[in-house]
Chain A
Amino acid sequence: MNPPFAVLDPLLERAPQILRDLLTSHLPEPWRWFVNSLLAIIVILAVFGFLFAALTLAERKILGRVQNRPGPNRTGPFGLLQPIADGIKMLSKEDIVPRDADHLLHFLAPVTLLASSILAFAVIPYGRNLVPVDMDASVLYFFAVGATTELAVFMAGWSSHNKYSLLAAMRALAQLISYELPLLLSWLPIVMISGTLSTTGIVAAQSGWRWGWMPTWHIFTPWGFAGFMVFMVAALAESNRSPFDLPEAESELIAGHLTEYSGCKYVFFFMAEYFGMIALSGMAVTLFLGGWHAPLPSLEFIPSYVWFAAKLLTLLFGFIWIRATFPRLRIDQLTRFAWKFLVPLALINLGTAAFWSLSAGWSGPFHLARWAVAVALVVVPFVVMGRRLSGGVAPRTYSFAA
Chain B
Amino acid sequence: MLGSGLIQGLAVTARNFVGSFHDPKRLTTLEYPEKKTVLPEAFRNFPFLVSENAEDPMGTLRCVACQICEKECPPQCIYIEKSKDKKPDATGKMQIYPAIFLIDSSVCMNCQICVEVCPFDAIKMDHEYEIATQDRFKALLLDREQLAKPNSYFHSIRPEEAAEVDGRLATERKAAEEKAKAAAQAKAAAQAKPAPQAVAKPQPAPGGNPPKTTNPA
* Interfacial residues, chain A to chain B (CB-CB below 8 A): 62, 65-70, 73, 321-322, 324-326, 382-383, 385-387, 389-390
Contact A67:B16 (CB < 8 A) given known A325-B10, A326-B9: yes
B20 pairs with A68, CB closer than 8 A: yes
Give complex CA distance A73, B31 in Å: 10
A325 pairs with B13, CB closer than 8 A: yes
Give complex CA distance A83, B115 in Å: 50
With both beta carbons as reference points, the residue of chain B lying nearest to A68 in the complex is identified as B26
Instruction: Check B14 for interface membership: any CB of A closer than 8 A.
Output: yes
A389 pairs with B16, CB closer than 8 A: no
Encode contact with A along B35-61: 1 for CB under 8 Å, 0 otherwise.
000000000000000000000000000
B16 pairs with A68, CB closer than 8 A: yes
Give complex CA distance A326, B6 in Å: 8
Say which residue of B1, B26, B29 sits within 8 Å of A386 (CB atoms). Answer: B1
Give complex CA distance A357, B70 in Å: 92
Most buried by A among B1, B9, B10, B17: B17
Contacts of B20 in A (CB 8 A): 65-66, 68, 70
Give complex CA distance A35, B180 in Å: 105
* Interfacial residues, chain B to chain A (CB-CB below 8 A): 1-3, 6, 9-10, 12-14, 16-17, 20-21, 26-29, 31
A65 pairs with B1, CB closer than 8 A: no
Q: How far is the CB of B87 from chain A (nearest CB, A)?
A: 51
* Across the A-B interface, the 8 shortest Cβ-Cβ residue pairs: A386-B2, A65-B20, A325-B13, A66-B13, A325-B9, A66-B17, A65-B17, A69-B29
Give complex CA distance A386, B4 in Å: 11
Is chain A's interface secondary structure helix, strand, loop, or mixed overall?
A: helix
A-B contacts, 29 listed (Cβ < 8 Å): A65-B16, A65-B17, A65-B20, A65-B27, A66-B13, A66-B16, A67-B16, A68-B20, A68-B29, A69-B29, A70-B20, A70-B27, A70-B29, A70-B31, A73-B31, A321-B10, A321-B13, A321-B14, A324-B13, A324-B17, A325-B6, A325-B9, A325-B10, A325-B12, A326-B6, A385-B2, A386-B1, A386-B2, A387-B2
For the A-B complex, the count of residue pairs with Cβ-Cβ distances under 8 Å equals 48
Q: How far is the CB of A386 from chain B (nearest CB, A)?
A: 3
Contacts of A321 in B (CB 8 A): 10, 13-14, 17
Contacts of A386 in B (CB 8 A): 1-3
Contacts of A325 in B (CB 8 A): 6, 9-10, 12-13
Contacts of B1 in A (CB 8 A): 383, 386
Give complex CA distance A390, B4 in Å: 12
Give complex CA distance A29, B14 in Å: 54
Contacts of B12 in A (CB 8 A): 325
Say which residue of A65, A66, A326, A389 sits within 8 Å of B2 (CB atoms). Answer: A389
Give complex CA distance A70, B30 in Å: 10
Give complex CA distance A326, B3 in Å: 12
Apart from A65-B20, A321-B10, 10 more pairs, CB < 8 Å: A62-B17, A65-B21, A70-B27, A321-B13, A321-B17, A322-B10, A324-B13, A325-B13, A326-B6, A383-B1
Contacts of B28 in A (CB 8 A): 68
Contacts of A69 in B (CB 8 A): 27, 29
Contacts of A73 in B (CB 8 A): 31
Contacts of B6 in A (CB 8 A): 325-326
With both beta carbons as reference points, the residue of chain B lying nearest to A383 in the complex is identified as B1
B2 pairs with A382, CB closer than 8 A: yes
With both beta carbons as reference points, the residue of chain A lying nearest to B8 in the complex is identified as A325
Give complex CA distance A385, B17 in Å: 33
Give complex CA distance A146, B101 in Å: 73
With both beta carbons as reference points, the residue of chain B lying nearest to A323 in the complex is identified as B13
Most buried by B among A70, A325, A389, A390: A325
Contacts of A66 in B (CB 8 A): 13, 16-17, 20
With both beta carbons as reference points, the residue of chain B lying nearest to A395 in the complex is identified as B5
Contacts of B29 in A (CB 8 A): 68-70
Q: How far is the CB of A331 from chain B (nearest CB, A)?
A: 20
